[in-house]
């Protein structure tokens, strides 16, 4: 029975590592989405001002590729955001959004903007651990979709 318990922990630890990896990728993918959007718009502008049909076609093709990357990145972030929204506890969800997705430090988790109330580091750490465990149970259902989207996003960039 001890081996079964260890096997369960190994899967859980592996999934928590995967959740942590997804959280780290979030800001990278957000940056890639912004870059793809800017490049897409620039290619559209270049296509509109092109004098030659071959040049115009090249810019249109590049714009299409960047639009596809942008859409894939937006969908990836939306899936992760929706997964975080499935976590019932409001404070846990708040910690995941601010720390894991937005990159705020554990001592700067904002509870209330009006009163500028922050969560203590120990409370934030407890909620983060709880949130990572809950996300670990939700992510297996969407991990294949996230991987497919990552391949679309990663033109040359490595995540």
Q: Is the pLDDT of residue 149 over 50?
A: yes
What is the sign of the dihedral through the CA atoms of 85, 72, 26 and 147?
positive
Compute how many other C-beta atoms are within 10 angstroms of the C-beta atom of residue 119. 22
Q: State the pLDDT at residue 156.
A: 52
Q: Is the pLDDT of residue 32 over 80?
A: yes
Distance of alpha carbon 16 from the chain centroid: 15
Q: Is the pLDDT of residue 28 over 60?
A: yes
Q: How does pLDDT run across 114-144, given as a tens digit for each residue?
A: 998 999 999 999 999 999 999 999 988 999 9
Query: Which of these, 137, 105, 139, 138, lies nearest to 124 by C-alpha position?
Result: 105
> Could you tell me which residues are beta bridge partners of residue 110?
118
């Amino acid at each position: 029975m001890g081996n079964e318990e260890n096997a369960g922990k190994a899967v859980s630890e592996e999934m928590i590592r995967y959740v942590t990896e997804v959280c780290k990728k979030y800001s990278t993918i957000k940056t890639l989405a912004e870059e793809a959007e800017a490049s897409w718009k620039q290619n559209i502008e270049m296509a509109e001002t092109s004098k030659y049909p071959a040049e115009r076609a090249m810019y249109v093709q590049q714009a299409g590729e960047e639009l596809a990357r942008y859409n894939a990145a937006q969908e990836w972030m939306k899936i992760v955001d929706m997964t975080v929204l499935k976590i019932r506890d409001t404070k846990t969800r708040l910690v995941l959004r601010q720390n894991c997705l937005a990159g705020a430090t554990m001592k700067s988790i904002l509870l209330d903007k009006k009163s500028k109330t922050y969560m203590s580091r120990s409370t934030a750490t407890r909620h983060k651990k709880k949130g990572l465990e809950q996300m670990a149970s939700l992510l297996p259902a969407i991990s294949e979709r996230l991987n497919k989207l990552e391949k679309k996003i990663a033109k040359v960039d490595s995540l």
